[in-house]
Amino acid sequence: MKMNSISRVFVLSLLVFPASVFAAPTVEQALQFGPIQADIQYEIPDSDQIKECSIKPEKIGESTGWVVYGSARQKLRQFLDTNGDKKVDVWAYYQNGVEVYRDIDADFNGKADQYRWLSTGGSRWGLDTDEDGKIDSWQMISAEEVSSEIVAAIRTNDSDRFQILVLNEADISALGLQGDKAVELKTKLAMSKEDFGAWVRSQKVISAKSKWVHFGATRPGVVPAGTDGATKDLVVYENVASVVETEGEHGQIDIGTLVRVGDVWKVISAPKSMSIASSSTGGEGFFFQASFSARPDAAGPMASFADTKTQLLLTELEALDVKLAEAASLDQRKKLNATRIELIEKLIAATSDAESKGNWVRQMADAISAGVQTGELDSGMGKLKQLADGLEKSVPGSDTAGYVKFRYMTAEYTTKLQDSEADFPKVQDAWLVSLKKFVTDYPKTDDAAEAILQLAIAHEFAGEETEAKKWYTKIQDNFSQTPLAIKAEGAIRRLGSVGKAISIKGETTNGKQFDLAAYKGRVVFIHYWATWCEPCKQDMLVIRQLQAKYGARGFHPIGISLDSSRQELDAFLSTSRLSWPQLYEEGGLDSRLASEQGVLTLPTVYLIGKDGKVISRSIHVSQLDAELSKLLK
């Protein structure tokens, strides 16, 4: 079992040197530790091999610690105390006797804050400032490893993991980029996160089973200082591709341009699907193309004027976003949001590139829709409807038209629900009609899957499970490579679960492995919850009483937290001290634990009998006492 960073604080205080002061750990204890980062290829001896392993205290340079050796005298693990405080601060893992990875506690507080891949394991060096197990920035990463990280981010739909690989404002400054090229680059960077999310939802190349296998690119080149506003030499890769394998089938994605910033390589935009044309011709890159001054479409005083205007608008928008982040009152936020919409409108008008213009249109639709729904924008529905209607006429069925239309529909629906005099059944019926029309008009757009999911949820909550299953199946059929397909498959599984055994596996908050199958012979109540769900927390009061009443007879409640923040969960558990196991994985309602059972709302529950089969998937906690008294006579 892999021990997490929390359990390390206590246990690793025993792994000290010299052995005469503290009892030596056993080989079994030392081998319990595993890397914090996933997908590390390191040697794990089986039960028979462990008997031939040994552990010894050693002095390595200025450090002291314990070293685990395998049956062939090869190193397996190395736990070092580098600062003499008699606590381990480096956990090293070996493959074929060579160190391939280490966790590092650089501030000596018992929690790892750096992760390094070494030797045949690679050259990555990640920094974890908040010590939550997730890399916040890269100290070192190669171009090949960037392409691998992007595939991993797509596979898990992790936009944060992708975003730390993207060039930022500080990088542009450090690279010495100025002028028109810097303006063009900033426009790309501004949309990278949104573009990543949209593309991941629509792509069909990478699934949860995909693996990165190859980095595809020609040799890197140098953009010399003085080219297109560059004040320093730049080292770049153009037209980079990642080759992936999914159950024996190979595919490619277009990574685009990579730029070297010190020891770190970074991308400048979201990935794209690799077309036949681009993969065969290589295409033009962002830097290696005709200079701006030589391009006919960029010549003349009007082009120069447009670029300068765009730069000023971008600068103004950046300053406004800072003010929005600091604004305390609702009135301030309303005024700033209204100004932000006006600026984006000006950027749309000043942008000639079709792709960039489309990105700004999407950003404006997001800004208006979000502002209307949160009450931070007094007006905007008219502007959003006008934009949606215009796109429907000019580019019917396009991704951009569908994107704007869906945000208009969502904002309109939310606004009607917030009306104190709303006829809720009428509003709901109109919403379902609009969703069905959207799916017909924009069947292949990114938001069609979300619209279908909303239809499925509405029918399920109305008790129309057969109709709900039809819509969930439609997601599987039409959007099989998206995360929503996994959620839809889980929902179908949940709807048909009564009378069947289900599989739930994971890790508890205290680092123990959980498998529902191990509870056969007992009555189990599975309770999906989150700290933001007040009814869930009320349920816990009843569950606590029932555990005290029926626990000795074989009743076992199991909690599954779908909180997005581990910190919020830990804070709640520290005061509530629930006495039954709690499973957790990052991702909230989009986590694996939620998706595998199609959990869409909270609380969601299962009551499971002694035979391991589901008795009910909709029982209320108020009904549990009567049911348990029958099941546990």
Looking at the structure, tell me whether residues 251 and 155 fall in a common domain: yes
Q: What share of the chain is helix, strand, coil (3-state, %, to 5)?
A: 45, 20, 35
Structure tokens at 38: 């996933």
Whether residues 127 and 169 share a domain: the answer is no
| DSSP, res 191 | T
Shared domain for 185 and 240, answered yes or no, is yes
Pick out the chain residues at pLDDT < 70. 1-23, 274-284, 289-309, 311
Nearest-10 Cα torsion for 205, 208, 209, 213: 60
3-class SS letters over 152-175? HHHHCCCHHHHHCCECCHHHHHHH
Q: pTM higher than 0.85, yes or no?
A: no
Is 188 in the same domain as 267? yes
Whether residues 120 and 220 share a domain: the answer is: no
| Residue 31 domain-assigned (yes or no) | yes
The pLDDT of residue 276 is: 36
Shared domain for 54 and 184, answered yes or no, is no
DSSP string, 367-413: HHHHHHHHT--SS-HHHHHHHHHHHHHHSTT-HHHHHHHHHHHHHHH
What is residue 609's three-state secondary structure?
coil
Within-domain flag for 210: yes
Question: In the prediction, which pLDDT does 632 show?
Answer: 94
Q: How far apart are CA 176 and CA 224, in angstroms?
A: 12
Give the tokens for residue 295: 């391009």
Picking from 241, 274, 294, the residue at the C-terminal end of a domain is: 294
My answer on whether 202 and 78 are in the same domain is no
Q: Which of 294, 314, 341 finishes a domain?
A: 294
- Residue 243 covered by a domain: yes
The number of folded domains in the chain is 3
Q: Is residue 544 part of a domain?
A: yes
C-alpha to C-alpha distance for 357 and 362, rounded to whole angstroms: 9
- Rounded CA-CA distance 497/615 in Å is 9
Whether residue 436 is contained in a domain is answered as: no
* Amino acid (one-letter) located at 552: A
Residue 156 lies in a domain: yes
Is 536 part of a structural domain of the chain? yes
Range of the domain at 87: 5-140
Q: Among the three residues 260, 294, 328, which one is the final residue of a domain in this structure?
A: 294
pLDDT at 10: 31
At 255, list the tokens.
């990574």
5-55 pLDDT per residue, tens: 333 433 344 343 333 334 578 899 899 889 999 889 999 998 889 999 999
CA distance 453 to 475: 7
Of the CA atoms within 13 Å of residue 542, those in its CB half-sphere come to 15
Residue of 227, 236, 220 whose CA lies nearest to 177? 227
Are 111 and 31 part of one and the same domain? yes
Among 95, 105, 239, 229, smallest CA distance to 173 is for 229
